[in-house]
Amino acid sequence: MNLRLYVEDIHRQLVTAAEAGGDDARALAERLVAPLDSAIRLALQDAVAAAAEEITCELAPGSVEVRLRGRDPEFVVTLPPADLTEGGAELAPPDWAAGPIGSGASPAGEGDEGGMSRINVRMPDNLKSRVEAAAVAEGLSVNAWLVRAAAGALQRHEPLRPLQPRAPRGAQRYTGWAR
């Protein structure tokens, strides 16, 4: 993602706004443009990283990563596994997985408005170091890794439903959910 276009647009808007103040204001704005370049670029990178983190929370167990290539951010998208089969029988994903990204549907369950919540987690030091190592190995932040792990754990505990109801087979019939 080329940030130069956005930075130059902000520069133009700053100089244009300063023109209303006369020649002195315009000259001051032109002198401020170069020093503000790094601050504007950093603010844009922070906004892009925050957006990627929000998308990752909605996409869990998939993720969106932002990596710097030179001075510009680059997105790396890891989609959640689409293969939800067991023993050759295709199973439908849980209801929360059917919603589009950004729809507010999430593994958090009923009543989730898609907002973000902050929690504090206390864990033994050896577990913390293992979590950090796993996050680094997958190229994720610890927060994104924990969100993905929690979503995956909840998905494993949420029953899957058959795609099509099956007709009874004889006198003995079993009903229930399969994983």
CA angle 71, 49, 106 (to 5 degrees): 155
Helix, coil or strand: residue 67: strand
Q: What angle do CA 131, 132, 138 make, to 5 degrees?
A: 90
What does the alpha-carbon distance between residue 71 and residue 82 come to, in Å, rounded to a whole number? 34
Tokens read off for 91: 């199973």
What are the helix (H) ranges across the chain? Answer: 4-19, 23-59, 125-137, 142-157
How far apart are the C-alpha atoms of 179 and 176, rounded to whole Å? 10
Give burial (CB, 10 Å; 0-12/13-18/19+) of 26.
Answer: middle
The conformation of residue 97, written as its DSSP 8-state character, comes to G
pLDDT (tens place) for every residue of the chain, 179 residues total: 888 888 889 988 988 888 888 889 888 888 888 888 888 988 998 898 888 888 888 777 788 888 888 888 888 888 777 654 445 444 444 444 433 333 333 444 444 456 777 788 888 888 888 998 988 888 888 888 888 888 888 877 665 555 455 444 455 554 555 55
Domain residue ranges of the chain, discontinuous segments joined by +: 45-162
Q: What is the Cβ-side half-sphere exposure of residue 55, based on CA atoms within 13 angstroms?
A: 16
Quote the pTM value.
Answer: 0.42
Q: What is the CA radius of gyration of the chain?
A: 24
